[in-house]
Amino acid sequence: MAAVSIRDVFKSFGPVKVIQGISMEVADGEFVVMVGPSGCGKSTLLRMVAGLESISSGEIAIGGRVVNKVEPKDRDIAMVFQNYALYPHKSVYDNMAYGLKIRGLPKDEIETLVQRAAETLELSQLLHRSPRELSGGQRQRVAMGRAIVRQPKVFLFDEPLSNLDAKLRVQMRAELQALHRRLGTTTLYVTHDQVEAMTLAQRMLVMNQGRAEQIGAPLEVYTRPATTFVAGFIGSPPMNLIPGRIAPDGKTLEADVGGSVRLPQGVPALAGRSVLLGVRPEHLEACDPDAALLTPQINFVELLGSDSLVYGYLGADKRGVRLAARLHAASAQAHDGALPLTFEAQHMHLFDPASTRRIDF
């Protein structure tokens, strides 16, 4: 195992800047997830750690050794790809053993390593099968097994679960967590799925247009998003963001689209300042009109069983700010028109509309 250091790394393809100065320290044995929308550069960054892409500038070090000019085979890493990349004509055993045979390991050592990995991944009964005889989840476990037998310093996963159905993804996430607990190998994992990021990561790197928007533990990123991008990307539905100006008394937000929001915690220091007020849908609660902090007009209710997603708008008409609230089904059932809502001060977020950065208050 080894720590990974990413130091002020840039990557350009001609005039197109793909990675723009990312720095991050990954501790020995840590599980770090790189998450962001398609095209943000997360897979490119992972491929640079693997040595499959060159670095325009900056340094990447594995176990204290700078590997900018080191060939992928000499970096002591193992990578699991999105499409499994299994040899279709080889058995499960041969797929897992092939890399070890190329390295010239003795047959008895290969047998031991493959059997041990197969037992860990519950593949012992499938070693004689070919990839076409396996389910998607089994193929992905074979791909992971091929990486495990290498006993590398670092595991690299490039969206390994994106081709699986929803139920199988949940199962494989649990298996990945258990695998990391057993092996304790440093892991970099790329995904665009925020649920995977939140459930798997010890820390996460949220990327946007080649930049690091925020680095932190999942709960930290969720509860204190550093920017409006993180606030909108992490969480489903995303955080409600209401543009407006803090009233002179610091107790009300006068929304740009009309209407107002009473603030559960006064912010006199920001009086007269333009801000974006953020509240997550799950932190909004239905209440009596007298206790309401905001009263949006509701135009759609999505029933989910025990709770419901309520959608509406704040402002004079439907061109106002779109809002979403996650409410108990009884609170949202058959609701139409104005809905009084409240939220606690601890769940209020403020952002600067120009820089999009979080405002601490």
| Together in a domain, 98 and 124 | yes
Which CATH number fits the domain that encloses residue 163?
3.40.50.300
| Together in a domain, 127 and 159 | yes
Res 119 pLDDT > 90: no
Does residue 356 form part of some domain?
no
The predicted pLDDT at position 333 comes to 60
Largest CA distance in the chain: 78
The C-alpha atoms of residue 123 and residue 94 are separated, in whole angstroms, by: 13
**Count of domains for the chain:** 2
In our burial notation (b when 16+ CB lie closer than 10 A, e otherwise), range 152-172 reads bbbbbbbbbbeebeeebbeeb
**Tokens encoding 90:** 């080889």
CB distance 234 to 225 below 8 Å: yes
Q: What is the tens place of the pLDDT at every residue in 269-320?
A: 999 999 999 999 999 999 888 999 999 888 888 888 888 899 988 876 666 7
Does residue 282 form part of some domain?
yes
Does residue 61 form part of some domain?
yes
Q: What is the tens place of the pLDDT at every residue in 160-217?
A: 888 777 887 888 888 888 888 888 999 999 999 988 999 999 999 999 999 999 999 9
At which of 174, 202, 233 does a domain end?
A: 233
Does residue 360 form part of some domain?
no
| Together in a domain, 180 and 251 | no
CB distance 343 to 354 below 8 Å: no
Does residue 313 form part of some domain?
yes
Mean pLDDT in residue range 230-258: 92
Question: Cα dist. 34→44, 62, 191 in Å?
Answer: 11, 17, 6
| Together in a domain, 135 and 258 | no
Q: Is the pTM of this model over 0.85?
A: yes
**Tokens encoding 51:** 């040595």
By DSSP bridging, strand 154-158 and strand 186-191 are: parallel
| Together in a domain, 246 and 229 | no
At which of 193, 213, 233 does a domain end?
A: 233
CB distance 54 to 130 below 8 Å: no
| Together in a domain, 219 and 244 | no
Tell me which H or E stretch contains 1.
none
Q: What is the tens place of the pLDDT at every residue in 77-116?
A: 999 888 888 999 999 999 999 989 988 899 999 999 999 8
Q: Residue 38 gets which letter from DSSP?
A: T
Axis crossing angle, helix 107-120 with helix 136-148, rounded to the nearest 10: 130
Does residue 309 form part of some domain?
yes
| Together in a domain, 10 and 84 | yes
Question: Cα dist. 55→47, 48, 58, 139, 347 in Å?
Answer: 10, 7, 7, 32, 41
| Together in a domain, 80 and 218 | yes
At which of 233, 266, 286 does a domain end?
A: 233
Query: Who has greater pLDDT, 328 or 65?
Result: 65
| Together in a domain, 172 and 315 | no
Question: Cα dist. 321→31, 108, 111, 245 in Å?
Answer: 38, 66, 62, 14
Q: What is the tens place of the pLDDT at every residue in 149-160?
A: 988 999 999 988
**Domain ranges, residue 309:** 240-351
- Supply φ then ψ for residue 135, to 5 degrees: -75, 170
Q: One-letter amino acid identity for 162?
A: S
| Together in a domain, 17 and 157 | yes
Q: What is the tens place of the pLDDT at every residue in 332-352?
A: 665 568 889 999 999 999 999
Closest CA to 280 of 341, 338, 335: 341
The predicted pLDDT at position 176 comes to 85
Tell me which H or E stretch contains 45.
helix 42-50
In our burial notation (b when 16+ CB lie closer than 10 A, e otherwise), range 309-324 reads bbbbbbbeeeebbbbb
Query: Would you say how long the chain is, in residues?
Result: 361
| Together in a domain, 14 and 46 | yes
| Together in a domain, 204 and 308 | no
